[in-house]
Structure 1
Amino acid sequence: MFNKKVWGSLVLAATLLVSAGCGSTAKTNDESSTDTAAASGDKVYNIAISQIVEHPALDATREGFIAALKDGGFVEGQNLKIDYNNAQGDQTNNLSIAQKVASDKNDLILAIATPSAQAVVQQVTDKPVLFAAVTDPIAADIVTNLDQPGGNVTGASDTNPEAIAQLMKFISTNFPNVKKLGLIINEGETNAVVMADKAKEELDKYGIELVKAPITNTSEVKQAAESLVGRVDAFYVTLDNMVVNGFDAIVQTANDNHIPLFSSDRDTVENGSFATVGFKYYDHGYQVGQMAVDILKNGKNPGEMNITVPEKLDLILNLKAAEAQGITVTDAMKAEVKDAANDIVE
């Protein structure tokens, strides 16, 4: 006769084995590598990134930052874990992300764009914070001093007032028919307001009026652009995250109506505006990544690190955009480009 107690024991053992198998989770290569680093005694660094929204300039900033970390010996999946958080343009999400990264055990936090930086610096006071793609960190109440920011915060501004001055001069010199410049703007973004004020200051010198079309969310960008048709002679876009997120609608409106479109960064020129005075956001992010390496590897105090601004400015032209917008690109315009091989986009 079969022993029922033995049978019961065998069934129980089999059940436990199956349950253990179902509860296991396969590790990714990055997780396995990180575990290996931890097992070998090497420190694994944790960096959190808070980004307000995805668009080419901010994405390039993040990519440059990570590349600089790698070049500095901090490799994701080996001795580095990156916690990337995107607020999708939502301020509630933005605050939640800031609270999350503040409570997590991070060695450093990167905030990309002004709204992200504002939220993070309010929540994080006990670990290094870097910011990037911030137009005016003082006006945004992120720091009080550019040379000695103090505390646990430093980073890089993505604008140099001279870039706006040069672009407005380029417009006045090469587009004498432009008497009114239309600006789609989210006035809730400090960075956009600061740049708009600087543009107006420069335009006043040339007798050009800045005409604003305010928006409160990205879905309003197309309507705002269309509302300016017939009222202005050209469009201008600042480093306004909400507006740039809907940039394709502005390009379409400009092309359909042969309206010259000017912007404030290289990525938007590559994506359809005619001209800017600017730089590469990848390089901007790389510069901030180098600061992160200095903090993590050399123990540098963020509060003693100068906040930097772009120095290598150049006029950037998009010839395909010029054709679509009915612009005749003259030799005089091209002559203003210092690095024609890289900064004239064909």
Structure 2
Amino acid sequence: MMKRMIAFISALIVFLGFAFFYSNQPKQATAKHIPTIGLLQLQSHPALDEIHQGFVAGLKSEGYTPGKNIKIDFQNAQADQSNLKTMSSKFVNEKVDLMAAIATPAAQAEANAANGKTPIILAGITDPVGGKLIKSDKRPGNNITGTSGESPLPQLLKLMQELVPTAKTVGIIYSSSDHGGEYNATKFEKLAKAAGLTCKMYTISNTNDMQQVAQKMVSEVDVVYAPQDNGVASAMKTLTNVANKEKKPIIASADTMVKDGGLASYAIKQFDLGKVAGQMAARVLNGRSTKTYPIAYVLKGNYVINEKEAKLLGIEIPAHIMQGAKDKGEIFK
């Protein structure tokens, strides 16, 4: 009986010893949570694609590599409002850790679906306050923050005046369904009027309208301003073809729009907007609160010139602008 008792006690001591040892070891058998980001893009377009690429680069710079320690559920709505709603709801239903939006309509769809709960990062959204996404730039106040794609409008106006000094009437075209585009267009209108120029505003409801609206516009103005507007950007080649027939130059708000036929721009890099947004997303995943995380801006722009367009229109680009484009910006030949 005594031998059995001693054997039992010995076995118990050994068991407790092993239990104590293993309880103090790292829990390597427990799978580490890999966060998921629901990334929603309005449509395919070079400018928006650059923001997307920058967003991924920003995550990587903060230690988050897709396929390794983070998952990105990327959805492209192809400019369809019903897709935006469905895809945003999908993110919420699947309980992603964070959502991100490229273009204002995508951000508004995610905000409606999240209902103040899932954190959302804006990637290059123009006027997030006016779009009713946040309370203020400095203190967003809820579940949304990110980067704003505000264009350097004073520099764009100055560029227009330098390249087309004889212009008196400016045509400004934007999409009626794009809040960011309308905001950009009306703000440029105020600056141009203050500078003594006459402005005429034109709207398209979708890209199919561009041909007809552009034909009317170029017959009535001396120069065209193409704002940071998703619809206008998508139909830029159509706008350019129409404007070229009447030899009317286009000053564009984005480098990709110059590549598609605009004469020139003083533009911020869309990739940089995305990269800063990606870095902000990483920090929110690491615990930073969106409520007090200020909206970030990329303020530094560079000259972008379409040399082929300049020759076609018979416009000589001032030497300092060409040099600036060559040194830090871009020249499309």
TM-score, with length taken from structure 1: 0.83
Equivalent runs, 1:1-346 vs 2, <5 Å: 41-124=31-114, 125-160=116-151, 163-296=152-285, 298-334=286-322, 337=324, 340-346=326-332
Poorly superposed stretches of 4+, deviation over 3 Å:
332-335
Amino acid at match of 2:310: A
Q: Is the 8 A contact 1:272 1:318 kept in 2?
A: yes
Following superposition, the deviation at residue 202 of structure 1 comes to 0.9
What is the CA–CA distance in structure 1 between the aligned matches of 2:88 and 2:29, rounded to whole Å?
30
Q: Is the 8 A contact 1:53 1:89 kept in 2?
A: yes
* Structure 2: runs of 5 or more not aligned: 1-27
Match of 2:8 in 1: none
What is the CA–CA distance in structure 2 between the aligned matches of 1:90 and 1:326, rounded to whole Å?
40
What is the CA–CA distance in structure 1 between the aligned matches of 2:313 and 2:278, rounded to whole Å?
37
Following superposition, the deviation at residue 271 of structure 1 comes to 2.6
Q: Is the 8 A contact 1:184 1:221 kept in 2?
A: no
Q: Is the 8 A contact 2:48 2:103 kept in 1?
A: yes
What is the CA–CA distance in structure 2 between the aligned matches of 1:175 and 1:204, rounded to whole Å?
16
Query: For each residue in 1:177-203, what CA deviation from the matched residue of structure 2 results, as whole angstroms up to 9, or x when unmatched?
Result: 211111222122211121111111111
Name whichever of 175-184 and 46-55 sits farther off.
175-184
What is the CA–CA distance in structure 1 between the aligned matches of 2:187 and 2:303, rounded to whole Å?
18
For this pair of structures, how many residues does the alignment match? 304
Amino acid at match of 1:154: T
What is the CA–CA distance in structure 2 between the aligned matches of 1:153 and 1:214, rounded to whole Å?
29
* Structure 1: runs of 5 or more not aligned: 1-37
The structure that has the greater radius of gyration is: 2
Query: For each residue in 1:232-261, what CA deviation from the matched residue of structure 2 results, as whole angstroms up to 9, or x when unmatched?
Result: 111111111111111111122233332111
What is the CA–CA distance in structure 1 between the aligned matches of 2:330 and 2:93, rounded to whole Å?
46
Query: For each residue in 1:83-116, what CA deviation from the matched residue of structure 2 results, as whole angstroms up to 9, or x when unmatched?
Result: 1111111222222222222222201100111111
Percent identical pairs in the alignment equals: 31
Match of 2:22 in 1: none
Where 1:54 maps in the other structure, the secondary structure is coil
Following superposition, the deviation at residue 135 of structure 1 comes to 0.8
Following superposition, the deviation at residue 150 of structure 1 comes to 1.7
Amino acid at match of 1:176: P
Amino acid at match of 2:33: K
What is the CA–CA distance in structure 1 between the aligned matches of 2:320 and 2:36, rounded to whole Å?
50
Following superposition, the deviation at residue 272 of structure 1 comes to 2.1
What is the CA–CA distance in structure 1 between the aligned matches of 2:218 and 2:186, rounded to whole Å?
22
What is the CA–CA distance in structure 1 between the aligned matches of 2:277 and 2:147, rounded to whole Å?
6
Taking a change above 3 Å as real, the CA distance of residues 39 and 227 of structure 1, as seen in their structure-2 partners, is farther
How large is the RMSD of aligned CA atoms in angstroms?
A: 1.9
Following superposition, the deviation at residue 58 of structure 1 comes to 0.7
Where 2:328 maps in the other structure, the secondary structure is helix
Where 2:101 maps in the other structure, the secondary structure is strand
Taking a change above 3 Å as real, the CA distance of residues 274 and 53 of structure 1, as seen in their structure-2 partners, is same
